[in-house]
Amino acid sequence: MANILFIDDDEVLLKVVSVLLKGRGHSIATATSGPDGIRLLNKMDFDLVICDANLPVRSGYEVVTEIRKVSKYKRLPIIFMTGLRELNDIYCAINAGFNR
């Protein structure tokens, strides 16, 4: 199964998604800020990153843009998980490097 990094500042959502993914056999690491997520990403190998757009310190857009600058992460799947629904938010996510 997959090794997943989930970056979100909503601790309840982190717990719920973690339980669901672990129940499906995946291993999951969580971070509540972009810098913490990037530190975890640099320590461990992940098959997938799930990231919120609204994070403290640095936005999810900024975090993903930074991740995509590293050549070994160019093809790493990154899912955009957020409550934002405007078309502009989707364009910003794609431009930052979230997968479509």
Taking only the tens place, the pLDDT of each residue in 21-75 is 999 999 999 999 999 999 999 999 999 999 999 999 899 999 999 999 999 999 9
Angstrom distance (rounded) from CA 35 to CA 90: 22
Name the β-bridge partners of 79. Answer: 50
Residue 6 carries which DSSP code?
E
Q: Any idea of the CA torsion for 91, 29, 63, 41, to the nearest 10 degrees?
A: -120
pTM: 0.90
CATH architecture of 3-96: 3-Layer(aba) Sandwich (3.40)
Which pLDDT band, with edges at 50, 70 and 90, does 86 fall under?
confident
Local structure of 53: helix, strand or coil: coil
Domain edges within the chain: 3-96
